[in-house]
Amino acid sequence: MATNGGDEMTLYDAIGKTYAQTRRSDPRIAAKLLEILAPYHASTIVDIGAGTGSYAFALAENGYRILAVEPSATMRSQAASHPSIQWINACGEKLPLPAQKADVAIIMLAFHHFHNYQKVLQEIHRVTGGGPVVMFTYDPKMISSFWLTQYFPSFITDVQSTFLPIATLTSKIELIINAVVNIIPFPLPNDLSDSFAAVGWSRPELYLEESIRNGISTFSKLTDDELEQGLSSLYQDLEIGVWDHKYGHLRQQKQYDVGYRFLYTTA
C-alpha cells in the first residue's frame, strides 16, 4: 500500500515504544463498539489512528475486514498480525484509498491528535461514500472534576486545548459527514485493561508506574518538575492516607463517568 506522510517521525514514534504492553483493548469498550457497529451491517471498516491495532484486532476477530491507518512505524510494529487487517502507513488527512473503499470509519482515542480534523472528516466522507463514523473520545469539560488534576494541574489546560468541546465536535461532524451525531457516555470500569489517561480513577497507585505513564500522551507533555512534583505529592498522599480520606470512596465503585464518550452518526 502506498505511503503518505507516514515516513516522518511522529509523536508516537517517540512516546509509543511500549504502547502495546499497557494499552490492550478493553473488552467492555470493544463490546460497546461492536454493539454500535451492528446496525450498520458493515463489512469493511477503516480505523483511523489505529495505533497498535488493539481495537482493529477485536473487530477483525468478529468478522470485520479492517483497513488500519496509522502513521507511526513504532506503533504499527507492535501490532499483532491478522489476515483480516490491512495496515496502511498514512495520516487520516490524506488517505491513500479510493472512494467508497470502506463502509464505516472508526476513530478510537485518536481524533485529538489529528493536525487537521476537518480534512480527516472530509477524507472519511470520501472513503466511506458518506458512510457512518464511530468515535471514542473525551469530553474536555469533565477534566477539572477528575482528582488527578489536583496533582497535575496542567492536565486541565492541556486537555482543554487538545480536545474539542463535544458540542463543537458534534456540529463539525454533522456539517462535514452530513449526518446526526448520537452521544453515549461510557463510564469506565474499575479494572479497565486499556491504560489510557483515566485508567487509575479508582487505582491511584497505577500512576506511580512509569510503564503506565509511558502509554499516556498527556504525561509526556509535563515538564520534569511538574512530573516530579505531582508524583511525589501523590506518593505522599497515598502513604499518609490523604488520598483515601478524600477519594477512597472511589475504590468501592465498580464504574465511574470520568468523561469518555462514544459518538456515532445516523442518517
Least distance between ligand SAM and beta carbon 119 (Å): 9
Phi/psi for 66 (5° steps) reads: -120, 135
Q: If binding is defined by CB under 6 A, does position 6 make contact with ligand SAM?
A: no
> Which of residues 93 and 139 has its CB atom nearest to ligand SAM in the complex?
93
The alpha carbon of residue 213 and the mean position of all alpha carbons in its chain are separated, in whole angstroms, by 15
DSSP letters spanning 155-208:
HHHHHHHHSPPHHHHHHHHHHHH-SEEEEEE-PEETT-SB--TTTTSS-GGGGG
Q: If binding is defined by CB under 6 A, does position 204 make contact with ligand SAM?
A: no
117 in Cβ contact with 111 (< 8 Å): yes
> Which of residues 11 and 206 has its CB atom nearest to ligand SAM in the complex?
11
Q: If binding is defined by CB under 6 A, does position 259 make contact with ligand SAM?
A: no
Among 4, 12, 140, 264, binds ligand SAM (CB under 6 A): 12
* H or E stretch at 151: helix 148-151
Residues 28-57 that bind ligand SAM (CB under 6 A): 48-51, 54-55
Least distance between ligand SAM and beta carbon 116 (Å): 8
Least distance between ligand SAM and beta carbon 247 (Å): 26
Q: If binding is defined by CB under 6 A, does position 91 make contact with ligand SAM?
A: yes
Least distance between ligand SAM and beta carbon 87 (Å): 12
Q: If binding is defined by CB under 6 A, does position 79 make contact with ligand SAM?
A: no
Furthest-apart CA atoms within the chain: distance in Å: 59
Q: If binding is defined by CB under 6 A, does position 192 make contact with ligand SAM?
A: no
CA neighbor of 188 nearest in space, from 255, 267, 266: 255
Least distance between ligand SAM and beta carbon 115 (Å): 6
Q: If binding is defined by CB under 6 A, does position 10 make contact with ligand SAM?
A: yes
Q: Are strands 133-138 and 260-266 parallel, antiparallel or unpaired?
A: antiparallel
| C-beta atoms surrounding 161 within 10 Å | 9
DSSP 24: P
Indicate the SS3 state at residue 229. helix
Q: If binding is defined by CB under 6 A, does position 110 make contact with ligand SAM?
A: yes
Among 68, 75, 198, 222, binds ligand SAM (CB under 6 A): 75
Which residues of this chain interact with ligand SAM, rule CB under 6 A? Answer: 10, 12, 23, 48-51, 54-55, 69-72, 75, 91-93, 108-110, 113-115
